[in-house]
Structure 1
Amino acid sequence: MLFKPSQLAIATHCALFLSVLPTTHANAESSPQSPNHNASMERMIITGSRSAERIDEVPSSVTLIDQQTLAQDMLITTELQNLLAFRVPGLAPSTGTSSNSGQNLRGRAALVMIDGVPQSTPLRNGQLGISSIDAGAIERIEVIKGATSIYGNGASGGIINYITKRASKDKVRINVGVSSKFSAVKLQDSAGYRVDTSIDGTIDDFSYVFSAITEKTGLERDAEGDVIGLVYGLSETKSNNYFTKLGYQLDDDKSIQLTYNYYEAQQDADLIDVIGSVNSGEKTYAIENTSGIVKPGVPQGPRGNHNLMLKYVDQEIFTNTQLTVDGYLQKIENMFFFSTALANPSEGYEGGQSIIKSEKKGLRINFASQIDWDNIESTVIYGIDALEDVSSQPLEDGRIWVPEMDMRNLAAYLQTKFVVADDWVFKAGIRQDSVDLSVEDYQTLKLCSTASTCSVPFDVTGGELNYDSTTYNVGLRYNMNALFSPFISFSQGADISDIGRLLRSATVNDIALIRTEASIVDNYEVGFSGQVGDVNYEIAAYRSESELGTSNTFDATTGVYLPVRAPQKIWGYEAQLDYRVQDNLSTGLSYSWIEGKDTENDTYLDGSTISAPKFTAYVNWQPVEDANVGINYMYVGDRKRFEQVNGQYVGSQGPIEHYNVVNLASSYQINNWQLSLGVENLLNEDYFSARSQAYTYGGYNTKSLGTTINVGVKTSF
């Protein structure tokens, strides 16, 4: 049985609630398929409430990366980590690798989604979710900041939702793009290629999108020309993304849509690392494997991530109410790098390679109703979420590190919005979650940092863990005038993420004795936005608190980092400004600052949670009608909160020194052809990323990409 009687009770209560709701008429703007949708999309979001709404009716910080901005940034790089780091205030700087470990959103984990389908693996968070689709399949990106339970577990820091491409209104449109990326510091073996093809269109009531993208990177080199290290490395990685979206308009109100996306990206490089460390000051870099010994392990990276979603929309299921039903299936396999930390010499293992496996099945039923009074417009969104997530983390050699976890989640939610006299926007919502998590009996893995320093394996009795949580949100925005629009909000998120990490580090013989309690995150935000002439701005301050967090402590006896559950407080502020200087010239800047503490011990949170201050700026210039030039700039500041322990920095407590990065994007249009030149790290800054400086673990202190050229040509017909 997929769900227990206690969970079915939630569905029953929700059904009763639906039956007594008044019948009303849905606003056209609340419909993802409405005729006005295309014209208004640039100022609309769908992620925050599951129904399209205007940004000026959202009482919290939102970042949108539209299609034009995304396309321009992709002339520089297609790495989503890098694109988001430059464009999203509050998101930590890019790690420069395939892993987004340490790239948090406001100090907490972000739930990454594709069209609302979760890509993160919260039960065993390998922190690879940001790179779960090729940027070429994305039309726009919506980022909602702050804890939210609107989509369930794993969104304690907010949501990053990739909205995939839609079909054009033409019967047939074909797009072809070819590009090559290579190092300007040392060309040798650095050249790669990318081929991006798609065909889409609309024929009567049928729409379609087919996309195939292949990319192969050469050797990625730092500012000194050395090959960047292999831990989550990107050198000699081959990726494929196949995307299909089919839609059919059944009648004026009803439509159905089928979406499938497949993504893989594996590094297969005959290289070995020369290991340095934060404490020695020596970087980790890779060299050709000339030892004659076959390198252990198999290629790392996503081995084949599948996402299938079927969506049905009825604009008026009953009077003034829209119904959206979507079901989805997802299968993820993320292979990690070979690590000697997974050694067990007594059993013949010199190391190991883990793989996170996750399969999700979900069904979502969402209603959106509108009720209008004299000078009040109200929207009520309500529905049911059902999800089964089966995740584990075995080793490639057959050993079990994290046992299979079977989570069944049933939730009911209600979200309301009231717009009074076109000026006051009040939002309030509630979500009730019932979660059952089953784990079979298992034994923790014996791991050895040296032949004589090993962890002690435990036989752990499995069982079932149950979580019931109720979370709330409330917010108020006053659109007083164009110059000044203040907002304030409170939101909660229920987070049981990374149970797998707790299970694999168990030091007791029963999962009931492991501190696996869910964490409720309280998020407070206050801010204001406005427009003064051609200047748009937003300033926000926030604070989030949780009774339980997850951090690490080093056990010198076993050489293993153990999780610590302790109360956390995180606070910070963000500011963003955009200025349209002339019709052909625009500029902007942003600043993010964040800090956090373990309030039980009054100690600062480390670099795996809190990022260094970040400043970004951009300039876009169109010197002539068919040419465009863009410059992006990022400054990452200092953060030095920790002292050495016995003469060494430990864990994620390395000091962060500031650095600067400048990127260039340029293009020229000749009829249907676009010629492009992008330059990443234009000034060849020689630097370690913030994460490479903070993480003291062996092999993580790699330098970032040196000056890299990306040249390409695209056509559409």
Structure 2
Amino acid sequence: MIQKWLLRGWFGAGTVLLMVTPTFAQNVTSKEIPQLSEVKQFAKSASLLVQTPTNNPSQNPQGDIIQITRVKANPTDKGLEIVLQTSQARQLQVVNRSSGNNFIADIPNAQLQQATGNAFKFSSEKPLEGITEITVTNLNENTVRITASGETALPKVELFDSGQGLIFGLAPSTSTAQKPQTKPEETQKPEAQKPTSETPSKEPAQLSEPIELVVTATRTEEEITNVPRSITVVPREEIEKQSAISNDLGDILGRTVPGLGPPNSLNRAGNAQTLRGRPVSILIDGVPQQGNSFVNTQLGYISPDAIERIEVVRGPTAIFGQGASGGVINIITKKPSEAGVTSTAQIGINAAAGGDAFLEEDSFGNFLQYGFSGQDKIFDYVFSISRDSVGAFFDADGDRIPSNNATSDDTVSTNILGKIGLDIGNDQRLQISVNHGNNSRDINFVADPITRTIPELQKTRAIRQNQIYQGTDAPRITSTSANLSYNNDALFGNNQLQAQIYYRDSEEVGVASDNRGRFGDSINRFRQSEEALGGRLQINTPLASSMSVLWGADYEQQKQGDSLREIFDPVAFDASSNDGRILRKVGEDVFYPAFDLSSLGLFAQLKWDISEQFLVSGGLRHERFDFSVDEFTPLLDNNFDPYVGPSVPSAELDFDDTVFNLGAVYKVTPDVSLFANFAQGYSVPQLFRVLNFLPVGFTIENDVGFLQPQKVDNYEIGVRGNWNNVQATLAGFFNYSSLGLSSRGLPDGTIQFVRAPQRNYGIEATLDWQAAKNWKIGTGLTWTEGEDDQDEDGDFDALRTLEVQPLKLTAYVENQTTPGWRNRLQLLYVGNRDRGFEAGSDFVSIEDYLIVDYISSFRIGSGSLEVGIQNLLNNRYSSVFSQAGGGLDELLNNYERGRTLSVNYRVSW
């Protein structure tokens, strides 16, 4: 028999109507349900109804924000329990409603806290037969939303409080209770499915950890605590918080991800941020964003407002194939809202606020964004469009900062994201998404070439030069990608299939510079285009209740266009003034020839939960690359003189190898786990770099050494700790490649690439502490070193600082000052490094610097006002890239931006 109770006063000023089934009732005592009253009839479609004096979830009558420290999911014989862990469950206020098959409950005096000390989103797809999705997310600064979506009807929801927190008991609308339907890689032990008297349903020991799912490390949904390698998840809330001071993803990730190089706002096109000293593979929804060319600003292809979360796997991995010798950054785009149509809008301005450039007119920029998403029966959709106009940059002294790349100051970036999904029955889904990014720049100031002639190393100064391009395009970077995906969760029974087909087209058009009298000896610039077509297929097959295998294939075909060097008329250039400097294109030559590169990867990955405490996984991947290039004549020889000699014959090459990985996790206690792994990576170098500067008589088949792919062996051990108010991680790594790839700068401004044995090693650590009810403190440490042995005599010398960045220390302190007002102070310290200079790989020693930022968020009406101050102390410093690059070419020796003020208002409805 089902009992129905009317509860008054449980959550303060409100009325809760609660259904208690016999299964749940045995765990509810009279102390947990005060003031029981008369029985009331209630709607059949919903089991929980809460009424409060206000319908506005943003209002908080109690005035205090209650911290929910953990979200857990416990299976029961009736379904599933979602536990919001807090010691103040009885002070939580709940407002619920239903929309179609969606149950929605808002708690307007609570906030979720993540292991990193930041807000997060808990999401579990297909957790129960009959329930398609459960989400727990921060709706705003003081409201938590719980949503449960039924397949054919509104789920049954039952509510409890206990010593561990607020509990939502969930069951499908059918009369027969179903056990949780987890994905094969998440399958629990049979004894965890049904609670016993020793392990009550409220706290089964097997499931005491929060469910925080990631997909990048294993290509399937997996609890982060079960993955035997270092992973960083940057959730939506943290992205929004950091975008209060910068919309550049490189800046955001440089401040939040251990192992990644520090921010580098002046030279985004250089992609100077490496991960553990090696190149990183960048994905959007699992689709690679970079080809084998110098179109290398993939982090600029998407706006932060279009991102749900970012997952970063640190260290070499062959799970996703080519280009991941340093790790993977997977940008996961927004999902549709749970019910109805939800719109978001944002408007912001920013300007210099330091030194003599305080609120300088030219420094003003603005940001506009609008997006909407929703569901309509079997359809769902997401759309977002944004425009980011960046003004001029000024350093701490108030001097204008010149930049000679296409993605810095005086730029306008637009991004459009569209996604449409179709649910085909209960187990199949089809989705298409399109992402387009465009970054264009007006050149009004450039670095003064006279800086190169002044003795001693000088800070670059800016001179006015309003560039007018004739017969060609203005500087820009564009990229368009389309992705069609299909999922089937019940293929031939319980196999899960995921398939993708994608297309990507990118182009970079650079900034012209006057290189007369030095390398190039002309007024020139470069442009490059590339396109790629590829597909991914994977099937997850359960072998037993505790074992599954993931297997499949990846394929990609890249077509790299000719890398052109455009030449401009020196007479027209000299005859015009800096108020309108004419850049009339008079010719072009092929700097790097076009080529094709295809890759095919076949893989299998086994996961085995030996016990509740010990989990192992491992697998292999066979990778094959095919390279072809037509006959071409190099522009320059290996002495950088005009090439005189026979053309290089056309050629076709293929490379293949098999790489392995093996990892294990041991859970010492429910709060502490150890992990270790061995993983190999396999990727080809940037082939275009060896298709110029060639000696006379060079043939690709006979001189193939430089083209050989790089195979990296990586060893890593680490520990994770997750207690009630303290979270910590510590990891150490070492990797080695017998044929590494590094570079050296030459005095004439060119780069020499070196193939030699290479080793990288380092330590990464994080610590986050909920110091008090409204205070959070955290820190992160990254120390990485790298060396190579060019003479192969056993003596290793330090790599360039552009490849292995110095020590990085981050820290923050955050305070929820009032329910609607949050303040955060964060710092970034980058240490000095002279090992590269002493080894001759750097031209200068790298000096340390410190940056302090301030972020404040105010709840105003139904939206949020965010104020960010970058470089709060107005420190004068040069980034790692500016220092290391400036030693090679003084025009790169810039100070970074001084104090910069940003104000944004974001609203959802």
Same fold (TM over 0.5): yes
Which of residues 254, 258, 274 is equivalent to 2:432? Answer: 258
Structure 1 residues 600 and 230, CA, compared in 2 at 3 Å: closer, same or farther? closer
User: What is the CA-CA distance between 1:553 and the residue it aligns to?
Assistant: 4.1
Which of residues 700, 703, 725 is equivalent to 1:511? Answer: 700
Bigger mean CA offset, 492-501 vs 330-339: 330-339
Which of residues 738, 749, 752 is equivalent to 1:547? Answer: 738
User: What is the CA-CA distance between 1:533 and the residue it aligns to?
Assistant: 4.0
Amino acid at match of 2:905: V
Q: Is 1:597 the equivalent of 2:767?
A: no
Tell me the secondary structure at the aligned position of residue 566 of structure 1: strand
User: What is the CA-CA distance between 1:469 and the residue it aligns to?
Assistant: 1.1
Partner of 1:21: none
Q: 1:37 and 1:237 mapped to 2: Cα distance?
A: 41
Bigger mean CA offset, 595-604 vs 234-243: 595-604
Q: Is 1:663 the equivalent of 2:663?
A: no
Structure 1 residues 361 and 652, CA, compared in 2 at 3 Å: closer, same or farther? farther
Tell me the secondary structure at the aligned position of residue 277 of structure 2: coil
Structure 1 residues 343 and 353, CA, compared in 2 at 3 Å: closer, same or farther? farther
Partner of 1:8: none
Tell me the secondary structure at the aligned position of residue 81 of structure 1: helix
Which of residues 377, 380, 392 is equivalent to 1:219? Answer: 392
Structure 1 residues 707 and 437, CA, compared in 2 at 3 Å: closer, same or farther? same
Deviations 1:254-293 (A, max 9, x none): 1111100000112212222125469833212323228x99
Q: 1:406 and 1:660 mapped to 2: Cα distance?
A: 44
Which of residues 220, 226, 230 is equivalent to 1:51? Answer: 220
Structure 1 residues 257 and 333, CA, compared in 2 at 3 Å: closer, same or farther? same
Partner of 1:282: 458
Which of residues 705, 709, 715 is equivalent to 2:901? Answer: 709
Bigger mean CA offset, 664-673 vs 605-614: 664-673
Structure 1 residues 175 and 31, CA, compared in 2 at 3 Å: closer, same or farther? closer
Structure 1 residues 30 and 69, CA, compared in 2 at 3 Å: closer, same or farther? closer
Q: How does 1:562-581 map to 2 (within 5 A)?
A: 562-581=752-771
User: What is the CA-CA distance between 1:334 and the residue it aligns to?
Assistant: 1.7
User: What is the CA-CA distance between 1:494 and the residue it aligns to?
Assistant: 0.6
Q: 1:223 and 1:394 mapped to 2: Cα distance?
A: 37
Are the equivalent residues in 2 in contact too, given 1:273–1:287 (CA < 8 A)? yes
Structure with more contact order per residue of length (Cα contacts < 8 Å, sep ≥ 6): 1
Deviations 1:34-74 (A, max 9, x none): 63463599711111111110001111100000011111111
Tell me the secondary structure at the aligned position of residue 658 of structure 2: strand
Deviations 1:158-197 (A, max 9, x none): 0001000111012111111100010012123110111010
Q: Is 1:366 the equivalent of 2:538?
A: yes
Deviations 1:493-536 (A, max 9, x none): 11103011122233352112142111101111011111244111
User: What is the CA-CA distance between 1:320 and the residue it aligns to?
Assistant: 1.5
Structure 1 residues 170 and 342, CA, compared in 2 at 3 Å: closer, same or farther? farther
Q: 1:338 and 1:511 mapped to 2: Cα distance?
A: 32
Q: 1:31 and 1:603 mapped to 2: Cα distance?
A: 48
Structure 1 residues 483 and 697, CA, compared in 2 at 3 Å: closer, same or farther? same
Q: Is 1:625 the equivalent of 2:819?
A: yes
Partner of 1:682: 872
User: What is the CA-CA distance between 1:213 and the residue it aligns to?
Assistant: 0.2
Q: Is 1:89 the equivalent of 2:258?
A: yes
Q: 2:634 and 2:516 mapped to 1: Cα distance?
A: 12
Q: Is 1:144 the equivalent of 2:284?
A: no
Q: How does 1:486-565 map to 2 (within 5 A)?
A: 486-507=674-695, 508-512=697-701, 513-514=703-704, 515-553=706-744, 560-565=750-755
Which of residues 279, 291, 312 is equivalent to 1:109? Answer: 279
Are the equivalent residues in 1 in contact too, given 2:552–2:604 (CA < 8 A)? yes
* Structure 1 residue ranges without an equivalent (≥5): 1-26
Q: 2:534 and 2:803 mapped to 1: Cα distance?
A: 30
Tell me the secondary structure at the aligned position of residue 78 of structure 1: coil
Deviations 1:579-638 (A, max 9, x none): 112332211101111111113442111112110100001122111111111222100001
Q: 1:357 and 1:541 mapped to 2: Cα distance?
A: 39
Bigger mean CA offset, 155-164 vs 231-240: 231-240
Bigger mean CA offset, 268-277 vs 652-661: 268-277
Partner of 1:7: none
User: What is the CA-CA distance between 1:402 and the residue it aligns to?
Assistant: 1.5
Structure 1 residues 632 and 42, CA, compared in 2 at 3 Å: closer, same or farther? farther
Deviations 1:465-508 (A, max 9, x none): 10111011000110111343111101011110301112223335
Q: 2:471 and 2:828 mapped to 1: Cα distance?
A: 38
Partner of 1:615: 809
Q: How does 1:57-206 map to 2 (within 5 A)?
A: 57-97=226-266, 98-121=268-291, 123-185=292-354, 186=357, 187-206=360-379
Q: How does 1:299-378 map to 2 (within 5 A)?
A: 299-302=474-477, 304-340=478-514, 350-373=522-545, 377-378=546-547
Are the equivalent residues in 2 in contact too, given 1:505–1:562 (CA < 8 A)? no
Are the equivalent residues in 2 in contact too, given 1:344–1:351 (CA < 8 A)? no
User: What is the CA-CA distance between 1:555 and the residue it aligns to?
Assistant: 5.9
Amino acid at match of 1:153: Q
User: What is the CA-CA distance between 1:253 and the residue it aligns to?
Assistant: 0.4
Q: 2:504 and 2:320 mapped to 1: Cα distance?
A: 16
Q: 1:251 and 1:408 mapped to 2: Cα distance?
A: 36
Amino acid at match of 1:353: R
User: What is the CA-CA distance between 1:217 and the residue it aligns to?
Assistant: 1.0
Structure 1 residues 234 and 402, CA, compared in 2 at 3 Å: closer, same or farther? same
Tell me the secondary structure at the aligned position of residue 56 of structure 1: helix
Structure 1 residues 167 and 476, CA, compared in 2 at 3 Å: closer, same or farther? same
Are the equivalent residues in 1 in contact too, given 2:685–2:708 (CA < 8 A)? no
Structure 1 residues 580 and 238, CA, compared in 2 at 3 Å: closer, same or farther? same
CA root-mean-square deviation: 2.7
Deviations 1:546-565 (A, max 9, x none): 11222234567x86432211
Are the equivalent residues in 2 in contact too, given 1:307–1:329 (CA < 8 A)? yes
Structure 1 residues 457 and 89, CA, compared in 2 at 3 Å: closer, same or farther? farther
Amino acid at match of 1:170: A
Tell me the secondary structure at the aligned position of residue 529 of structure 1: strand
Q: Output the TM-score relative to the length of structure 1.
A: 0.89
Structure 1 residues 228 and 404, CA, compared in 2 at 3 Å: closer, same or farther? same
Tell me the secondary structure at the aligned position of residue 881 of structure 2: helix
Structure 1 residues 342 and 332, CA, compared in 2 at 3 Å: closer, same or farther? farther
Q: 2:541 and 2:123 mapped to 1: Cα distance?
A: 9
Tell me the secondary structure at the aligned position of residue 691 of structure 2: helix
Q: Output the TM-score relative to the length of structure 2.
A: 0.71
Which of residues 753, 773, 797 is equivalent to 1:583? Answer: 773
Structure 1 residues 691 and 279, CA, compared in 2 at 3 Å: closer, same or farther? farther
User: What is the CA-CA distance between 1:433 and the residue it aligns to?
Assistant: 1.2
Partner of 1:6: none
Q: 2:280 and 2:514 mapped to 1: Cα distance?
A: 29
Which of residues 620, 624, 645 is equivalent to 1:434? Answer: 624
Partner of 2:30: none
Partner of 2:7: none
Partner of 2:32: none
Tell me the secondary structure at the aligned position of residue 542 of structure 1: strand
Are the equivalent residues in 2 in contact too, given 1:431–1:472 (CA < 8 A)? yes
